[in-house]
Amino acid sequence: MRRLSDQICLEKGLSIIEKPGLSKGYNRHEYLGEIKPPSVREQLRDLIDSVIPVCKNYDEFLAAFEAKGVEIKRGKQLSFKLPGGKKFSRQDTLGDDYTFEAILERISGKRIIAPKTKTAPIHQPPQDNLLTQIQRCVVPKGSPGYDRWAAVFNIKQLAKTFNFLQENNLLEYDKLSEKAQQAKDDFNAISARIKVIDVRLPEITSLQRHIGTYSKTKDIYAEYKKSNWSKKFYAENKEKIELHKSAKKAFDALGLAKLPTIKTLQTEYAALESEKNLCG
């Protein structure tokens, strides 16, 4: 269902949740990696922190606060409303360091609070991976008719690409790069093997020919040897004797102590040819 949903969303130009299996829910700001806007109370606390250092008493604090555009409502507890705000926030809801007594202590220097540091977002934005690249790489150009066709065609192709990458867990650049390197290494290994086969196949053909020649001329050469290398015998059988010598020279060049049978060479040739076809 998720794959089908992702493909439909891609074809319709809608966004896709990259990691639906996250262990907890995130709001929009957390998911997108944005810093969540401060709440009204956080803004009031920040204003109070900025005003206190320049005040000598509570009246000056209130005056400085109002100068910031904050509306103050007096009652059993003071309430504050930010400029443009919709409702008041009571002072006793801002925290222990922001009560009436705490502010007096802070103005007099009896209470010191550590300066606040901004914390990073709870959820860091995801790295720009292949999914985000796929979703923004369709820019069809041309006539209106072609643009419509190209947009639909390209998005469908991208949907197929996305499904392939998702099924093979290749949405991250590092994983895709590792897989690409592995494919490159495999390709190089196959290419090297094909080169070896290409050398061996003609070698087998030549060896079969030499074995056949050697077998046919073996008796003639034996008689030549028995004649004590007679010049007359050589002249009468020169072609066959030279063919025999040529075959023997080829065997020596290959370092063959024992000649393989024709059947063995035929079996090897067929196996190598089949392997090459599979590699191709």
Contact predicate 213/244, CB 8 Å? yes
pLDDT of residue 270: 92
pLDDT of residue 51: 83
Helices (H) and strands (E) in the chain, counts: 11, 3
Contact predicate 31/125, CB 8 Å? no
Alpha-carbon torsion 9, 14, 18, 20, what sign?
Answer: negative
Contact predicate 61/51, CB 8 Å? yes
Calpha distance 62→106 (Å, rounded): 14
pLDDT of residue 235: 92
DSSP for 53-67 reads GG-SSHHHHHHHHHH
Collect all residues with Cβ–Cβ distance below 8 Å to 158 and sequence separation of at least 6: 10, 134, 135, 137, 138
Q: What is the pLDDT along the chain (280 residues), one digit of tens a residue?
A: 777 777 676 666 566 666 555 445 555 555 555 556 788 888 888 888 888 888 888 888 888 888 888 888 888 788 888 888 888 888 888 888 888 888 888 888 888 877 666 554 444 555 555 655 655 554 445 556 667 767 777 778 777 887 888 788 877 878 888 888 888 888 888 989 899 999 889 988 988 888 899 889 989 999 988 999 999 999 999 999 999 989 888 888 888 878 888 899 899 999 998 988 887 6
Calpha distance 21→42 (Å, rounded): 32
